[in-house]
Amino acid sequence: MSTTRPDSPGSPESSPGSPESSPGSPESSPGSPESSGSGGASGGRQTRSLSLAGESGVVPLARDFARQALYAWGWLPAEAADRRAAAEDVLLVVSELVTNACLHADGPDEMWITCDNKVIRVEISDSGAGQPAPRTPHRAGRPGGHGMFIVQRLCLDWGVVRTPGVAGKKVWAELGAPA
């Protein structure tokens, strides 16, 4: 289910005035979270960002950051099995995208996690020139090469955003909220 679309309908890139594109929005310092959007699980679109450039231990750092966001947005603690599985899927996708940035670029620069009532969107920016894609053929019994296959299987959609004249890319993935 990989996509050639640079972003999905309603994504921050396609929404004027979204927190990511607001002029004058404060920069977060390395390793420090930044939140924007409305608060509470019943609010509209909510976004949090985390600077990862130059940080060590970025995979657990990104997972912990995503877990905190899921708690703040009411996805955790999850009493029902489907809600627990949906939250674990988000954390796994975060791990895979950040790991890919570590392995195939010079590490991640920044992470954004956005939630509305129906979708969680994870975005990881890096300075790499490569194009992520599931390895084909996928061989489940072999070590390595499963990251984008996992992302493809768990997500509603995913893709890559490149800005002309700017090095690097932003890899995004969207997961559905449990019913």
pLDDT above 60 (res 90): yes
Overall number of domains in the chain:
1
Domain-located, residue 159: yes
Domain-located, residue 89: yes
Domain range enclosing 155: 46-128+144-176
Domain-located, residue 19: no
The CATH number for 121's domain is 3.30.565.10
Q: What is the spatial distance between Cα 135 and Cα 147, in angstroms, rounded to a whole number?
A: 9
Q: Which long-range contacts (CB under 8 A, 24 or more apart) does 34-40 make?
A: 37/114, 39/72, 40/74
pTM: 0.77
Domain-located, residue 23: no
Domain-located, residue 105: yes
pLDDT tens, 7-30? 444 444 443 333 333 333 333 344
**pLDDT the model gives residue 43:** 61
Domain-located, residue 88: yes
pLDDT above 80 (res 134): no
Q: What is the spatial distance between Cα 28 and Cα 34, in angstroms, rounded to a whole number?
A: 6
Q: Write the DSSP string, 133-148.
A: ---SS--TTSSS--HH
